[in-house]
Amino acid sequence: MKDRKSDKAFASRLIRWQKAHGRHDLPWQQGRAADPYRVWLSEIMLQQTQVATVIPYYRRFLGRFPDLASLASAPAQEVMALWSGLGYYARARNLQRAAQEVVARHGGRFPRRLEDIAALPGIGRSTAAAIAVFAFGARAAILDGNVKRVLTRVFGIAGFPGEKAVEQRLWALAEALLPEGDPIAYTQGLMDLGATLCTRSRPRCDDCPLAAQCLARREDRVAELPTPRARRAVPQRAVSVLVLLNRGSVLLERRPPSGIWGGLLSLPELPPGKTPRRYADARPLAVVRHAFTHFRLDIAPLLLKVGRRETAIEGIWLSLKRLEQAPLPAPIRKILMGLI
């Protein structure tokens, strides 16, 4: 950026707007400087997840694990159970791994240096910067989805932001726009603007503090920016799962630690193409469709009530009354809740 006057105007307008109209009552905004643990937890939960969805999970998680030490020493399955339904489960596994690294390598104190924060599991460049800003008042640039949308529109940057060249240009711009002071209000302002006004659809341009310098608005390109990813056919997959019931309990099996739903409890999957003879009397339930990032999955449940507990499948019998506390993927929970 060569026009420093324009850069300063961008930052000052954003800071003034945030202080007057931004979000100030989010749970993790309280006592930021005193507790980087809460800032870190919120930033991980907010990755690819909306604020309204995160808030109840954040409160429940913090109620059980009020500090970094309690998270580091907790049973992994308890961590996964509290994350159940929030999605992107690698975040929960990395969260606990990071807590354990902080205990082992940093004496239990969350690191202040940006490089040390970024080196922790599950924390990329933008998330590390956000933590450093909100927890320690550091001067660092962020570039999450909301910020990319604001910058591409205000400065008229075409090209899919996920492409390396476009992303590098956006990072350079984000660095150049950083003000000398008030990094917390500025960074929060970027997030708030993208989340409340400069939204993906139906943006409220008339209320935007940056409307006067927004190239996308001036050139009637708001709907075009950011440039979407080139359309690709979404793969469709299907799987049949067995719902074995015995006296109010259901048979579940533990997923492998990595991969889809890693470490969670799920219903046993049946071999593709046919149902084993001993389950021939199973009754089909409604198919549940679940969208992942890169594909859609149709889950076809087969219900069978048995007089004794199945021994052919290695697993865990769980009472249907304990579903709320179990670490279950959202679509599996939906299937089982329909049985109650």
Question: Where residue 324 sits, what CATH number does that domain have?
Answer: 3.90.79.10
- Number of separate domains in the chain: 2
Same domain, 146 and 243: no
Cα separation values, 233 from 47, 161, 203, 295, Å: 25, 20, 28, 9
Region at 263 (left for phi over 0; alpha for psi -120 to 50; beta for the rest): left
Find the domain containing 161 and state its range.
Answer: 4-218
Cα separation values, 83 from 29, 182, 233, 289, 326, Å: 21, 33, 30, 21, 10
First to last CA, the chain: 60
Same domain, 63 and 179: yes
Digit-by-digit pLDDT tens for the chain (340 residues) are: 445 566 789 999 999 999 999 999 999 987 545 589 999 999 999 998 999 999 999 999 999 999 999 999 999 989 999 998 898 899 999 999 999 999 999 999 999 999 999 999 999 999 999 999 999 999 999 999 999 999 999 999 999 999 999 999 999 999 999 999 999 999 999 999 999 999 999 999 999 999 999 999 999 999 999 999 888 888 999 999 999 999 999 999 999 888 889 889 999 998 877 777 888 888 999 999 999 888 999 999 999 998 888 777 778 999 999 888 889 999 999 999 998 7
Same domain, 148 and 240: no
Same domain, 247 and 303: yes
Instruction: Write down the pLDDT at residue 276.
Output: 78
- Dihedral (Cα; 102, 105, 111, 114), 10-degree rounding: -110
Question: Where residue 19 sits, what CATH number does that domain have?
Answer: 1.10.340.30
Instruction: Write down the pLDDT at residue 6.
Output: 67
Same domain, 279 and 320: yes
Cα separation values, 36 from 4, 112, 228, 311, Å: 32, 9, 34, 47
Our answer to whether residue 43 is catalytic in this structure is: yes
pTM of the model: 0.82
* 174 within domain boundaries: yes
Instruction: Write down the pLDDT at residue 79.
Output: 95
Instruction: Write down the pLDDT at residue 260.
Output: 87
The pair of three-digit structure tokens given for residue 178, joined into one six-digit string: 């950083």
